[in-house]
Chains A and B, each alone.
Chain A
């Protein structure tokens, strides 16, 4: 069982609100990722990080931002949420020299 945590698990908010989705892992993994996924659909990589102070945009353009100040923590922020941001957000991590990714349980975001 991978030790990667996401909070909150479910979030319903109004348009225009600023939100931060939390992701933490206790495995000491260097690499971390954020994916956006509509339920049961394909995974879209939106951000990734290969270590502290390293962040890159993924394949899918996203209005969200991320930070990596500590190895274990990789929060994702939406400055002004919109209904188009309604989706599931999955966080994952992997060790430095391997590509096996361990996924968190996800945050289901609904923007009204």
Chain B
């Protein structure tokens, strides 16, 4: 049973457009929702993360929107650039202690010039 469902599997966006990746979770105890960015041949790197006490968090061109009642969160990339082309993973966990991150299956983003 997959606890974090991510969509779409792949996404193609034109330069300057908005990229939107969605995730849905099942465990209402989750209280930490990070997004990781992975370039080919590299390990994933933390991009941005949110706690459920806020509905939105913005860092530069990257924004997480969080809907607690719907148990959904999404990553928005504004003014998408070819350098944003990567695989993006959402994840969720219960913060602290022995809980592990539960990852989505990933979204491959391609931004065309």
Binding site for B on A (CB under 8 A): 2, 33, 39-43, 45, 48, 50, 90, 92, 97-106, 108
Q: Is B100 part of the binding interface, using a Cβ–Cβ cutoff of 8 Å?
A: yes
Picked from A40, A48, A92, the residue with its CB within 8 Å of the CB of B43 is A92
Q: Which residues of A contact B99 (CB under 8 A)?
A: 99
| Shortest Cβ distance from B89 into A: residue | A43
- Can you list 23 contacts pairing A with B, beta carbon distance less than 8 Å? A39-B40, A40-B38, A40-B40, A40-B108, A42-B103, A42-B104, A42-B105, A42-B106, A43-B106, A50-B98, A90-B43, A92-B43, A97-B97, A99-B32, A99-B34, A99-B93, A99-B95, A99-B99, A100-B46, A100-B49, A101-B101, A103-B36, A104-B43
Q: Is B61 part of the binding interface, using a Cβ–Cβ cutoff of 8 Å?
A: no
Q: A98-B96, A99-B93 are in contact. Are A40 and B106 (CB under 8 A)?
A: yes
Q: How many residues of B contact A (CB 8 A)?
A: 28
Contact assessment for B108 and A45 in the assembled complex, using a CB-CB cutoff below 8 Å = no
| Shortest Cβ distance from A90 into B: residue | B43
Q: Which residues of B contact A39 (CB under 8 A)?
A: 40
Q: Is B87 part of the binding interface, using a Cβ–Cβ cutoff of 8 Å?
A: yes
Q: Which residues of A contact B40 (CB under 8 A)?
A: 39-40
Q: A99-B93, A99-B101 are in contact. Are A40 and B44 (CB under 8 A)?
A: no
